[in-house]
């Protein structure tokens, strides 16, 4: 009987001593920051689109198809783990379409506004490319693709001031 009593006292004492150590991990219950959470299915889909866009961009020189895939990633998954590479390739595709480089005609890139479709001018392609590259440089200043984006931006003519529409 006495050994049972001593055993219970030791057990209770152990619970009281170890209890505060368990509460020291209170922040774990909240989980990771939601802004850094990535949906695995969306990440997988974006990675597939990036691989296809890379193939179009590097091997086939199909900059219209590449740009369309990359824009899909930018619009659908802005927290993509490889968004820096996506922004660089989108910027370069836009700039090279402005110069009519590649195997696809820039007129194959179609946008829809107000139910009507239209193609972009070389200046609009340049502006779009400048926007992608500027976003890369400002959002990821220490990234692995920033130097290449800065080189592309420095090779561009200065941007024309935007005119206010009446």
pLDDT at 118 over 70: yes
Q: Is the pLDDT of residue 138 over 80?
A: yes
pLDDT given at position 20: 67
- What would the 3-class secondary structure string for the chain be? CHHHHHHHHHHHHHHHHHHHHHHCCHHHHHCCCHHHCCCHHHHHHHHHHHHHHHHHHHHHCCHHHHHHHHHHHHHHCCCCCCHHHHHHHHHHHHHHHHCCCCCCCHHHCEEEECCEEEECCHHHHHHHHHHHHHHHHHHCCCCCCHHHHHHHHHHCCCCCCCCCCC
* Widest distance between CA atoms in the chain: 95
Ranking 13-22, 68-77, 120-129, 152-161 by mean pLDDT, the lowest is 13-22
Q: How does pLDDT run across 63-114, given as a tens digit for each residue?
A: 999 999 999 999 999 999 999 999 999 999 999 999 999 999 999 999 998 8
**C-alpha separations of 45 from 7, 35, 40, 71, 72 in Å:** 58, 19, 9, 13, 10
The domains located in the chain, with CATH, are 39-155 (1.25.40.10)
Closest CA to 146 of 91, 98, 95: 91
Q: Are 96 and 80 in contact (CB under 8 A)?
A: no
Contacts of 37 (CB under 8 A, 6+ apart): 79
Rounded percentage of the chain residues whose pLDDT exceeds 70: 87
């Amino acid at each position: 009987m006495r050994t049972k009593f001593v055993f219970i006292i030791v057990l209770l004492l152990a619970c009281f001593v170890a209890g505060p150590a368990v509460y020291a991990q209170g922040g774990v219950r909240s989980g990771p920051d939601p802004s850094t959470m990535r949906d695995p299915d969306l990440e997988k889909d974006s990675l597939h689109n990036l691989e296809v866009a890379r193939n179009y961009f590097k091997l086939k020189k199909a900059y219209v198809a590449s740009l369309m895939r990359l824009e899909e990633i930018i619009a659908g998954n802005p927290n993509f783990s490889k968004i820096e590479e996506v922004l660089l390739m989108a910027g370069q595709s836009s700039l090279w379409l402005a110069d009519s480089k590649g195997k696809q005609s820039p007129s194959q890139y179609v946008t829809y506004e107000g139910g009507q479709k239209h193609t972009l001018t070389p200046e609009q392609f340049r502006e779009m490319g400048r926007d992608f590259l500027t976003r890369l440089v400002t959002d990821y200043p220490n990234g692995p693709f920033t130097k290449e984006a800065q080189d592309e931006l420095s090779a561009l003519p200065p941007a024309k001031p935007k005119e206010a529409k009446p």
